[in-house]
Structure 1
């Protein structure tokens, strides 16, 4: 009776053992399948690299399996790398497999979609891609700010750091021109002062007469020397074409015409004085860097207001100094009026200057990348000294005392220093020049070359070459990925490279070359970028090379 029970027990135990092994195997198999099949992106709207005539209404991304219910991010960046839509917890679609965010009406430009999700098995997935709306113009760079290239000529080291005889003459002409412009325009603006004393009126009109003649000479020298610099290597007969057929040339021509009118303005009347000032300052605002940046109405408008405030302060200070030398009590009375307007002018100068700088530069770090930024810092430092001098003068006036002669002369000297910085600063470019990227690295297991042209924000051409030992044969996979450095919230952008036949003579003994190319806006905004090259050889070994570079 006992023997059958023992046999039955052993049979049951064996069956349970088999079932347990099957269950463990199933669990291991399921785990292995899950680990090898994380969620992957199957659909995007707009699609990667899409070029659209109009703004899409929404961004949608869909994966091949459900996503975890938390931790999802989906957002869109514009060409300035500013977020224009989306963020955390986007709307879920496609039964939990997809995400969606609505879009505002987008203007022309390259837009970056960045996503970060967690698949249902807990695996994090992130990435990014680019789509384009309309036919966006290239973002402003150093070449667009160079007047030589604006008229179709080579740069000639525009704004270089080496002070040659040519640059010295050019800077001198610009400094004299800006001194004449700010003082003359400012004196004309002070013509609106109501009921000035006879002494003040006579001093102002005499100063306007002298400054008008000086303005003519300064404008002639400025335009002539600027055209000589612009037309180096060109015949004199081509000058007329530049003056009539290009924006830069027409602005120079307008400066000349207004310069010839300057000596006549003082004797015509108040309306003519204000009209000349308004037109001349507009021409100068349009001639500067502001006209290259967008929106033009905003940038040129800021520059125009900046010039008006600078003129009001410059002309008023010179008038105060002239009256001071002639009649001290009258200078004291005018100083009370001038100090109030000088304070207002300086507030306007600081506000418009800061706003313009923020519009010109992707970040304030760019101030240290160029000579323009360093001269701007010098100008700001001098402006602080002017503010201190103005405070001391106003404190003396509040006590009923006249400002000391030395302090007034120091203020005029600081004005001269600011004009000097303006003459140099306005010839420099706020943005550094972009240079094509040529990255090459050699190793026993892999050689790589990456070329990016022109290596600027927006559309670029990419050429990637890899050399592998001939014994390995063709690679299984080659990837080029771009990542904005320092932006942990933005994923890698995969560049869709395609193989091509390269006939360039750059072979290496015992290595086989594989060449790939792509073209598109895969660096949609300025900043520091990391290029990652991933090569999987025929044995399944993955080789990774990285380089970091900056585009402006």
Structure 2
């Protein structure tokens, strides 16, 4: 064992260094890219055919990960040349256009943001006169890929959560004379060891299919690692695979395997909605705790079922299980309470009560399903515990199987909900900004991506400005938009429609010009939330 263990340690060291390197290579937190303007413009009717198509985005776009398609009024696609300066990143994509006939054309575009999220959209323009464009929205959707991605993530994350929970519970079960991890799983370890990497490859394949115009396998084959690691989800799969390889190294200590299960359980926390939140660090911590306590709950139930099956086959009594019962009840109680607390924290980090109650979409339905099934699991656990106390060491196998099945469906709902955009909290921004002791009241209705109305109220006793301009900057991204002129709606009150194209911190400046040439500025930072994507 000494020689094998030495080789294992060397291999583990190399893989662990690669794991740390991959974490170091993780892309910084970006907001989602937004299309700022186009030429031709949306809905524009041109007299002459345009010579080029120009798309300007709110952040530099990797041209190689951009997919832009041109369709005529019959839905026939016209091939476009490669964009000019097609290497590297740029805020502008410029495509030479062929000689186009009169009619209505549809541009369907898809790019990848700096945070790895696909962003897409479409618009129309006409030459000569409008002829009506083809409806191409449904043709660009990849519903099968989204469904397959949910299934493969469920396979991988379900195996990880159950496997980790069984491992941790078996560590304690041995103290009560119960089977260890290898004994209780038997050949199931080999089957799970095959399914996990297969599922990870399935995740990769499905995710690649959700990125129009991007082939992750081609990027891998061509060695374009810098492009690959712009996708946090790809990085998550890569880390999962590395940790899995560390997990199956033979001859390591029990502490090593316990730590690998711990890391493997927490990795999926970075592959969901977390990057669109105001406090991603807090969100990651709550998600890791949620996953680990869910693993203890679901894995603990699985371990207990496997132990009962094994004892029934060997016709052994349940006396060791009876002594194990108090520990299992305490562990399940703590885990279930932690699942509820961390789940609630996760929901309110993403949205609020009013948005949840008002939403009638898939996200809310999946959340309701999770709540109901979790309540069912708690009810079954309570009945099981009461029967244990009344009937000694007897366990109701049907109740245990129902609780376990409900737990598997909860995991599926959790994976699915992580792939579904969540409802944005519908709240307005209200604050008083001050400069040189002069306050102005600022209000922005219904914070979120899109066009939002900003109202600025100046003190009634002060002289009103002649002109008011709003400046919008995202300092962290080196991006600024065109100044927006506010319209006077009453004495001392101005309004402007602000185009928020990205999630993140926006630095807003109110610039007021007074008679005589005097200028004053008020400046604050406002966070714009966004619905999550995988």
Taking structure 1 as the reference length, the TM-score comes to 0.51
Work out which of the residue numbers 295, 307, 311 in structure 1 matches 2:295. Answer: 311
Alignment partner, residue 192 of structure 2: 211
Q: Are 1:407 and 2:404 an aligned pair?
A: no
Residue 338 of structure 1 deviates from its aligned partner by 2.3
Q: Are 1:254 and 2:254 an aligned pair?
A: no
Q: Are 1:358 and 2:348 an aligned pair?
A: yes
- Residues 33, 112 of structure 2: 8 Å contact kept: no
Q: What is the SS of the residue equivalent to 1:436?
A: strand
Residue 317 of structure 1 deviates from its aligned partner by 1.0
Work out which of the residue numbers 446, 449, 471 in structure 2 matches 1:434. Answer: 449
Distance 1:430 1:285 in 2: 16
Q: What is the SS of the residue equivalent to 1:403?
A: coil
Q: What is the SS of the residue equivalent to 1:172?
A: helix
Work out which of the residue numbers 374, 381, 388 in structure 1 matches 2:372. Answer: 381
Alignment partner, residue 341 of structure 1: 331
Residue 138 of structure 1 deviates from its aligned partner by 10
Look at both structures and tell me which one has the larger radius of gyration over its CA atoms.
1
Alignment partner, residue 195 of structure 1: 175
Map 1:161-172 onto structure 2 (within 5 A): 164-172=143-151
Task: Encode CA deviations 1:18-44: one digit per residue, 9 max, x unaligned.
Answer: xxxxxxxxxxxxxxxxxxxxxxxxxxx
Task: Encode CA deviations 1:339-384: one digit per residue, 9 max, x unaligned.
Answer: 32111101111112222322233x3222244643442232122111
Distance 1:224 1:183 in 2: 24
What is the aligned length? Answer: 343
Task: Encode CA deviations 1:482-501: one digit per residue, 9 max, x unaligned.
Answer: 89xxxxxxxxx9965779xx
Distance 2:29 2:285 in 1: 22
Q: Are 1:175 and 2:167 an aligned pair?
A: no
Distance 2:296 2:511 in 1: 56
Q: After TM superposition, what 4+ stretches of structure 1 lie above 6 angstroms from structure 2?
A: 137-144, 451-456, 458-462, 475-478, 518-523
- Residues 236, 267 of structure 2: 8 Å contact kept: yes
Residues 266 and 293 from structure 1, CA distance in 2 versus in 1: closer, same or farther, beyond 3 angstroms?
farther
Alignment partner, residue 228 of structure 2: 243
Residue 267 of structure 1 deviates from its aligned partner by 6.4
Map 1:395-474 onto structure 2 (within 5 A): 395-399=386-390, 400=392, 402-432=394-424, 434-437=449-452, 463=484
Residue 316 of structure 1 deviates from its aligned partner by 1.1
Residue 220 of structure 1 deviates from its aligned partner by 2.5
Q: What is the SS of the residue equivalent to 1:480?
A: strand
Task: Encode CA deviations 1:233-291: one digit per residue, 9 max, x unaligned.
Answer: 447432443334554432221122233445x2586441221121122233222333335
Segments of 5+ residues of structure 1 without an aligned counterpart are 1-136, 440-450, 468-474, 484-492, 500-517, 528-549
Segments of 5+ residues of structure 2 without an aligned counterpart are 1-27, 35-57, 59-109, 122-137, 425-447, 455-468, 498-507, 515-519
Q: Are 1:284 and 2:265 an aligned pair?
A: no
Q: Report the RMSD for the aligned CA atoms in angstroms.
A: 4.8
Distance 1:213 1:236 in 2: 21
Taking structure 2 as the reference length, the TM-score comes to 0.53
- Residues 188, 208 of structure 1: 8 Å contact kept: no
- Residues 363, 420 of structure 2: 8 Å contact kept: yes
Q: What is the SS of the residue equivalent to 2:450?
A: coil
